[in-house]
A and B are shown apart, each in its own frame.
Chain A
Amino acid sequence: MQVFLIFMSAILVNNFVLQRFLGICPFLGVSKKIDTAAGMSLAVIFVMVLASIITWLLNGLLVLMGLEFLKTIVFILVIASLVQFVEIFLKKTAPALYEALGIFLPLITTNCAILGLALLNIQNNYTLIETIFNALGAGFGFGLALILFAGIREQMEFADIPKPFQGLAGTLITAGILSMAFVGFSGMIKL
């Protein structure tokens, strides 16, 4: 039951993008079209779950050796390597998606959501199962925010936006309104 709550909480109440502010760069950058957003989300979910498991295991090892302070370096290297593998994998199996994602695929490495997730799992002392569900929730939450936003932005293409608000400014304000909607989920889950 606890893991289900962790899962739901990561998607809605503590949405990684709109509440925790993790993963903003891809959120603003890859959300122009719904299908790119969906593709990115799948890649992120995959990397998140794998990275969470590997970093959780490695952290156990680091603690045993008293080398916890090397956590950040080890984690980011794991994530960077994982993303490399995903890139190679996608290039072979889904070249269209690989092309569509373009520069944003290697940028998953600098997606603070992944490193943030890995660090949070440790900070909250989650067990391996809890970690996996947290990762799934974080990924789905990220995907949810991304796809919702892409839907909005596709519509915004047709809107007549005043010049100062075109581009980054309008995107941010729209994100703010979407974030407001998610604030409404506060208190929904009593862990």
Chain B
Amino acid sequence: MIMAKLPEELSNGMFKNNPIFIQALGMCPTLATTTSATNALGMGMATLAVLIMSNVVISLIRKIVPDKIRIPVYVIIIAGFVTMIDLLMHGFLYDLWKTLGLFIPLIVVNCIILGRAEAYASKNGVFKSILDALGMGLGFAGALLLLGSVREILGAGTWFGLPLWGDAFNVFIMILPPGAFITLGLLVAGLNWIGISKEEKRKQKEKEAKAAAQAAEKAGA
């Protein structure tokens, strides 16, 4: 499968340790900005941009930052990039900027960014840190896009603003806060269920292999 071909840093963030579904980090923007697929994607991309830039810089300066003040330094750097993205979006992507509103500066407190800075970028080289940022960022953006799409399709009958069945079938609560919680909960449950059944199949195979090996031994002995 594709997973085998991707470098480990990438697949880690995107699947195995997906920041939202597995680590449960960065919940606030996940629930708040996924009222539509466009908003979700915009938020995901903005966060990805900040994540990559901050990982790069923090990895570059990792040897010159005194250990005791490393967290405040990381925070300053991350806040700097977030403000940069905020200004750039204000000037060049006005509509998206207006919609995402408060949550753009809130990227600063997205635990994913500080988390990766502390856990990875401060201990690894630049190239690897970029991959890690890409992995986590894409994992985050992907999860956001999934949630946003489900909420938009079920809640408004459109996808990226393009009507699918329009007003014909609207589960209205999807767009409201409860819809966010419940949809994410169901998605996580769904992923858990897939994980659990995979695990059970694996255990089943192990059992069968063991039984076959034992039978072979008996036959041989």
Contacts and interface: CB of A to CB of B under 8 A. Distances in A.
Nearest to A113: B28
Contact of B192 (A28, A111, A163): A163
A73 B83 contact: yes
Most B CB within 10 A of own CB, among A73, A115, A116, A170:
A73
B28 A112 contact: yes
Interface residues of A, number: 45
A115 B178 contact: no
B192 A164 contact: yes
A147 B12 CA distance: 35
Interface in A158-178: 163-173, 175-177
Interface in A21-62: 21-25, 28
Given A165-B192, A173-B186, A119 B28 contact: no
A32 to B, nearest CB: 14
Nearest to B108: A76
B169 interface: no
- Could you tell me the dominant secondary structure of chain A's interface residues? helix
A109 B115 CA distance: 13
A20 B180 CA distance: 11
Contacts of B83: 69-73
A183 interface: yes
A18 B109 contact: no
Contact of B178 (A73, A171, A180): A180
B192 A169 contact: yes
Interface stretch (B1-9, B73-81, B132-140): B73-81
Nearest to A180: B178
Interface in A69-89: 69-73, 76-77, 80
